[in-house]
Chain A
Amino acid sequence: MSAITTIAVLPVVTVVLMTTLELGSLRVVAGRAGSAADLAALVAVNDQDDAELARSGRLVPAPDAADVARAVFKQNLDPIAGLLAASPDAIAAAARVSVDIAPPTVRISATVPVRTSFFGALFFHPITDVAVAANGGAR
């Protein structure tokens, strides 16, 4: 009886275990992607227009702030590139970056496709999209 119960329960418990691991991994990657967006927005908004600051004393994001945001976003996605379903370059290039002058703000939002191979085998969902967004303001 015990052996039959084990055989019956084993697949269910194994699926629960694998789902837990996949969800945990997805949560970590989502956190990492969120941090990457956060750092990108912060670094980009700190990239101030020095000439404007010296001339008028106003904080204005540098003309290349959007490029800086994408570059830092990409660099911070690189360590988890193996877990992503697209290259960090492509994800950063597709990210939506907006730079406002007043108040000086950088916003970045992106969709990060994450490999979820177990979900693919179980639910036909091999890639899970994680949406991340971050705002940074200079004060």
Chain B
Amino acid sequence: MITILVPLLFAVIEFGDVFQRWVAQESATVQVARYAAELGGDAPEVRALLDDSLRLSGIDPARSSLDVSPARVGWRQPLTVTVRTDATVAIPFLFATTIPLRTTAIVRGELNR
């Protein structure tokens, strides 16, 4: 019984944690996209904001990647920001794996160069 109920209980906890991380990462991505739009693309400040946002959500920023495409935009040009992290799921008696979490936000450049 233990070998069935414990994995199920851990599955609820572990996947709940993955969903929480996903929502937190989603929110961080939107904030970073907004900031990148104001700065006109990729910048060290943008990456610092992402690191801070992820850290505050309990996600290790060292294990995340940020893609700002294109790296430099002008007024009204579309800007795509993608954040990737890996969430670890470990369920006793069953498996341990990592789930890639990818979040994307699309905005427009707000800097008139």
**Chain A residues in the interface with B (C-beta under 8 A):** 2-3, 5-6, 9-10, 13-14, 16-17, 20-21, 24-25, 27-28, 31-32, 35, 38-39, 42-43, 46-47, 68, 72, 75-76, 79
Contacts and interface: CB of A to CB of B under 8 A. Distances in A.
Interface stretch (B7-15, B39-47, B56-64, B66-74): B7-15
B110 A46 contact: yes
Nearest to A35: B30
Main secondary structure of the interface of B (DSSP, over half): helix
Interface of B: 1, 4-5, 8-9, 11-12, 15-16, 18-19, 22-23, 26-27, 30, 33-34, 37, 76, 78, 102-108, 110
Contacts of B107: 39, 42-43, 72
Contact of A20 (B16, B27, B37): B16
Contacts of B15: 20-21, 24
Contacts of B1: 2-3, 5-6, 9
Contacts of A16: 12
B26 A38 contact: no
A139 B27 CA distance: 23
B104 A38 contact: no
A35 B12 contact: no
B30 A6 contact: no
B34 A13 contact: no
Given A13-B8, A20-B12, A35 B26 contact: yes
Contacts of B16: 20, 24
Contacts of B103: 79
A10 B5 CA distance: 8
A73 to B, nearest CB: 10
Contact of B5 (A9, A27, A43, A79): A9
Contacts of A79: 102-104
Contacts of B110: 46
